[in-house]
Copies of this chain bind each other. A is one copy, B any other.
Amino acid sequence: MPEFRQDWATKEWVIIATERAKRPEDFTKGRETKKTLPEKADKCPFCPGNEDKTPPSFYTIQNNGAWKLRVVQNKFAALQPNLTTQRKKVGKFLKVDGFGVAEVVIETPKHNETIANMPDEDVKNIIVAYRDRYHEIARGQHICLINIFRNHGQKAGTSLEHPHSQIIAIPIVPPHIRDQITQTILSSDTYGTCIYCDIIKEELNQKERVILETEHFASIAPFASRYPFELRIYPKKHSCNFGDISDAGIIDMAYILKATLRKLYIALADPDYNYIIRSGPTDYANVRHYHWYLEILPKLTTTAGFELGTGIFINVTLPEQCAKVLREVKE
């Protein structure tokens, strides 16, 4: 029997359509095998030796004089830092110059790695770079929100194979985020708690959608998952802002991020995915109502008219089954 499930925080509904139920192998069946990549690709602008094909690095992690990770301006930036944030009118419509920050984190010199099969130390470097860049960018006077994300594979919207993440910082808190925040405020005002803390507690209590749990984090297939194998990595301790992650938190996050992505990699034969760090606005310091997390969205299905028209996603898998499959992944 199909069912609607509600995301306790955002109040968004999903349809879990068990009548069309799919198993993990249904998502890999008939899919093109991913090509094996070389460790170094001559034409790749992110490979060592081609540093002149990108804007210069302004943040580098090195080892024995060679770079292990570099951060550069996005050469095809959708936003630019040298503009104003003043609202302007076009007749009765509103616009703003495309002010913002757009950076690329080149995660490793190796063309053929991905977080799922990277050394732990390299994954840690990525999170360190995220945090360091977060702090630096957050100091910008007009920056309201810093969006850190990773597009893995063509279906996830990336054209470059070389492992990289992106950071786009904007001078606006959009309705998509503001509405989520408003719900957390309403809940906090009523119940005196952070709704995400409540969700994490409930998920850990119900157990069946938990994939991994560490000292600082838990990875979970959310009760109201919109996509097959949608996952969230929640910090267990309340924190509204990714920038506040501790050094110990970084090591733990690197471990759970790699382990979770590795389970996906094995169970679903390296699926395309997006991941996003959903952090509170940069002017949030210790607010009680919001809670940051990392969201992993595998690209296994297509969004169609119903989803676009209602915001309700039809999910053809049970999150409980996705979590079970991932828990049972063998190396």
Contact = CB atoms under 8 A, between A and B. Distances in A.
Interface stretch (A39-47, A64-72, A95-103, A111-119): A95-103
Interface stretch (A134-142, A167-175, A213-221): A167-175
Given A4-B98, A8-B93, A274 B19 contact: no
A272 to B, nearest CB: 10
Interface in A168-207: 168, 170, 172, 174-177, 179, 198, 202, 205-206
A156 B202 contact: no
Contacts of A77: 2, 19
Interface in A306-331: 306, 308-312, 314
B306 A149 contact: yes
Interface string A87-99: 0001111111110
A276 B307 CA distance: 10
B2 A80 contact: yes
Contacts of A94: 5-6, 8
B276 A4 contact: no
Given A2-B98, A312-B176, A78 B147 contact: no
A263 interface: no
A223 to B, nearest CB: 5
Contact of A303 (B154, B174, B303): B303
A174 B312 CA distance: 7
Contacts of A305: 147, 149-151, 156-157, 166, 274-276
Interface size class of A (residues with CB under 8 A): 35 or more
A3 interface: yes
A132 B79 CA distance: 47
A199 to B, nearest CB: 8
A11 interface: yes
A309 B175 CA distance: 12
A3 to B, nearest CB: 5
Interface string A269-283: 000001111100000
A189 to B, nearest CB: 18
A17 interface: yes
A278 B310 CA distance: 9
Contacts of A15: 78-79, 98
A5 B93 contact: yes
B310 A170 contact: yes
Given A1-B97, A4-B172, 6 more contacts: A91-B205, A147-B305, A149-B309, A151-B304, A157-B305, A168-B306
5 contacts: A6-B95, A15-B78, A19-B76, A90-B223, A151-B304
The list of the 9 closest CB pairs from A to B, nearest first, reads: A176-B311, A2-B98, A157-B304, A149-B305, A276-B309, A157-B302, A274-B305, A17-B78, A4-B96
